[in-house]
């Protein structure tokens, strides 16, 4: 539109301030009786006012013509005055969103009254800025609400030339009313179906040895609680198995359900059988699926996850992730020897059908991981299949146990690194992952992805990133250790004489380590497993020797203890120096002996990050605290790793995680 170099247009010249100052000077001149000078000043002021009005109108006209030039061609601009354009439009400064110009349709649409100019768009939408235009976007990210309406804002930059350089100094915006469309979109989202599967996860224990009348009363009481809870969400419920229910309701109620923190779990827990057993629920919720069928599939995955983590909790699943609610309390053990027998036979068949067996644990393999691996190797040897243990021997926490195994001829050249394993793998190779179910915690994730056949055996609660599509998955959070699970499996497929003494001692060491000398997480089956290993030749004295630490480690442990303090019944030690993993874990165990301490946490710097080891005794679930920090484990022992974090930052994050856990309890 402009044939010459344009200057920055403005709707209102900034001369008012100067004119007011001149008027004040003229009044002052009159006061001091310099009338001639006052007359001269008055004439000058009058001329300046006239000049200001003329220039202001000219610049405003230039601005409108300029906007028209970037919106229409010349012919369109003449036939359709910009001011009467039906779409709300506004020009604003990029630096502070001040409205420079707007048509009448815009001011009416957004409800701006009074002095229209020098109003700011950020006054309409607090987060509104011109950043999106400067980033090259032509649409504002989000919906702007103003005057009871919703707008989608589009726009482009207005450029000027100054001293031969072109730059952006203003933005022109086009406001499209999308109220009706957005209301329909929101209503569509709110009415999306949500499917829930509810399981009475201790049904057998609750109803055991009860007469039919009591069983009916208990089930009716639970169903009454469920129906009362669901009535608040206008949903429907149907029992399709004796201990399973399916529910369907709308997405609009999920916010209320999550805010309520699944109070139904606590209400149902109040139902008690005559034998004193409290009922517990597990809930799996599927949402955001493309159909009812997909939501039902998500709900099934959620309920499977909830049960594998111990029950008495709710798990939601959408297209992208799992979310966990509840689960602070210890679950009711539902593990049976029937399941162990089925898993044992299935694992034995998988091993027999493979060309070779790789056994891999988690990074920095401890004695439970090594002991579990040795148990798998004993089955492979019995079935005549070549076996290997994949681990970084130098970095392994259970290195003393590895050295004991390597002395036996049966374990000559058995310990290999991941790269060698990947090279030797073929289509019939079986990988058995022990003592973890998370791919990112495995010794080598590439090997996990390279193997077509995978079995998982673990005693930690299933994490959101568990190994999926495994040929066999045996995850029992009620077990004290992986070695306890493997001891039960060995009782089915092997005779005690088939197990080497070093293997039996390796498994017994793993149990002793994870139970803290049979003080924590022990049950009847823990002692049964230990007795079986004793019959297989495990010497408790040798196990005790393996558990010993040298004097340097002992001194280092007590130095860590000197750094400890108590935060909300949790003993926290955060030494500034790097620590040995074994020493840190032992320090965490030792802190549980302090009176009034329910849990302990040791955090120490390592590899440009912070390693955290935690332990619990009593009701506090350290796994949930560590999961909040990106880690995992089980109820009484868990860990996490924080990358690119200082020890002081880590302590703050630990405090915040403890606060969140206790607030949700």
Q: Tens of pLDDT along 546-582? A: 888 778 888 888 899 988 999 999 999 999 888 888 8
Entry pTM: 0.64
Cα torsion 508, 509, 514, 519 to 10°: value is 70
pLDDT tens string 324-344: 887 665 555 555 677 888 899
The predicted structure's pLDDT at residue 86: 75
Q: Give the whole-number percent of the chain exceeding pLDDT 70.
A: 86
Range with the poorest average pLDDT among 70-74, 166-170, 389-393: 70-74
**pLDDT in the model for residue 216:** 92
pLDDT of residue 665: 62
Q: Is residue 517 classed as helix, strand or coil in its secondary structure? A: coil
Say what the pLDDT of residue 44 is.
75
Nearest to 10 by CA among 52, 73, 39, 43: 52
Q: Cα(540)–Cα(552) distance, rounded to whole angstroms? A: 25
Alpha helices in 383-481 (DSSP H): 399-406, 418-424, 445-450
CB 409 within 8 A of CB 523: no
pLDDT at 158 over 80: no
Question: What pLDDT does residue 100 have?
Answer: 81
Instruction: Quick: pLDDT tens for 440-463.
Output: 889 999 999 999 999 999 988 777
pLDDT band of 468, cuts 50, 70, 90: confident
More confident position, 97 or 536: 536
pLDDT at site 13: 43
Average per-residue pLDDT for the chain? 84
Angle at alpha carbon of residue 583, lines to 580 and 588, rounded to 5°: 125
Per-residue pLDDT band at 4 (split at 50, 70, 90)? very low
Q: Does 24 score more than 90 pLDDT?
A: no
Please check the confidence at residue 163 and state whether its pLDDT lies above 50. Answer: no
Q: Which pair of tokens denotes residue 64? A: 């409108």
Q: Looking at the predicted structure, is the pLDDT value of residue 46 above 80?
A: no
Quote the CA–CA distance of 662 and 183 in Å, as a whole number: 38
Q: Would the pLDDT of 81 be above 70? A: no
How high is the pLDDT of residue 80? 41
CA-to-CA distance for 432 and 436, rounded, in angstroms?
A: 11
Give the highest mean pLDDT range of 222-231, 583-592, 624-633. Answer: 222-231
């Amino acid at each position: 539109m402009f044939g010459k170099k344009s200057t920055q247009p403005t709707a209102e010249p900034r001369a008012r301030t100067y004119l007011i100052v001149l008027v004040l000077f003229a009044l002052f001149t009159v006061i001091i009786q310099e009338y001639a000078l006052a007359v001269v000043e008055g004439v000058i002021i009058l001329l300046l006012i006239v000049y200001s009005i003329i220039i202001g109108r000219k610049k405003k006209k230039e601005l409108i013509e300029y906007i028209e030039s970037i919106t229409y061609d010349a012919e369109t601009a003449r036939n359709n005055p910009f001011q009467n354009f039906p779409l709300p439009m506004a020009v604003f400064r990029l630096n502070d969103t001040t409205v420079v110009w707007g048509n009448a349709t815009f001011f009416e649409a957004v409800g701006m009254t009074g002095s229209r100019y020098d109003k700011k768009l950020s006054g309409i939408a607090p987060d509104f800025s011109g950043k999106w235009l400067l980033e090259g976007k032509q649409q504002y990210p989000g919906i702007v609400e103003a005057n009871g309406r919703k707008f989608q804002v589009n726009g482009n930059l207005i450029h000027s030339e100054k001293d031969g350089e072109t730059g952006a100094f203003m933005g022109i915006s086009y406001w499209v009313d999308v109220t009706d469309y957005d209301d329909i979109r929101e209503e569509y989202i709110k009415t999306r179906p949500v499917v829930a599967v509810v399981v009475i996860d201790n049904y057998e224990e609750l109803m055991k040895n009860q007469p039919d009348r009591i069983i009916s009363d208990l089930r009716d009481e639970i169903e009454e609680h469920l129906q009362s809870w669901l009535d608040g969400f206008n949903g429907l419920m149907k029992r399709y198995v004796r201990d399973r229910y399916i529910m369907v309701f709308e997405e609009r109620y999920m916010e209320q359900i999550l805010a309520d923190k699944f109070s139904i779990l606590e209400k149902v827990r109040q139902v008690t059988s005559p034998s004193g057993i409290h009922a517990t629920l597990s809930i799996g919720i599927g949402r955001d699926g493309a159909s009812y069928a997909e939501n039902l599939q998500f709900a099934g995955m959620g309920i499977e996850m909830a049960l594998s983590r111990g029950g008495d909790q709710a798990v939601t699943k959408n297209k992208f992730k799992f979310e966990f609610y509840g689960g602070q309390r210890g679950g009711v053990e539902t593990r049976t020897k029937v399941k162990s027998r089925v898993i044992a036979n299935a694992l034995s068949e998988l091993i027999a059908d493979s060309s070779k067996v790789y056994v891999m644990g988690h990074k920095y393999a401890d004695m439970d991981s090594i002991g579990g691996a040795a148990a798998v190797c004993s089955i492979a040897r019995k079935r005549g299949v070549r076996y290997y243990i994949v681990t970084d021997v130098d970095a392994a926490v259970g290195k003393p146990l590895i050295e004991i195994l390597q002395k036996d001829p049966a374990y000559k050249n058995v310990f290999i690194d991941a790269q060698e394993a990947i090279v030797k793998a073929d289509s019939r190779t079986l990988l058995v992952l022990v003592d973890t179910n998370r791919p990112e915690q495995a010794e080598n994730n590439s090997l996990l992805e390279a193997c077509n056949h995978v079995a998982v055996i673990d005693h930690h609660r299933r994490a959101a990133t568990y190994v999926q599509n495994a040929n066999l998955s045996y995850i029992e959070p009620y077990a004290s250790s992986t070695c306890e699970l493997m001891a039960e499996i060995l009782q089915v497929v092997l005779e005690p004489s088939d197990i080497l003494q070093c293997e039996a001692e390796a498994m017994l060491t793993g149990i002793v380590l994870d139970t803290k000398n049979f003080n924590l997480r022990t049950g009847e089956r823990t002692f049964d497993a230990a007795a079986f290993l004793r019959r297989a030749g495990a010497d408790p004295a040798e196990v005790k020797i393996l558990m010993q630490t040298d004097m340097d480690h002992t001194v280092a442990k007590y130095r860590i203890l000197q750094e400890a303090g108590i935060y909300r019944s949790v003993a926290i030690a955060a030494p500034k120096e790097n620590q040995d993993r074994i020493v840190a874990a032992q320090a965490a165990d030792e802190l549980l002996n302090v009176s009034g301490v329910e849990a302990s946490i040791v955090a120490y710097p390592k590899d440009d990050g912070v390693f955290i080891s935690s332990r619990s005794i009593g009701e506090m679930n350290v796994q949930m605290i560590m999961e909040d920090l990106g880690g995992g484990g089980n109820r009484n022992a868990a860990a996490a790793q924080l990358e690119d974090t200082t020890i002081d930052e880590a302590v703050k994050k630990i405090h915040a995680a403890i606060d969140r856990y206790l607030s949700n309890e």
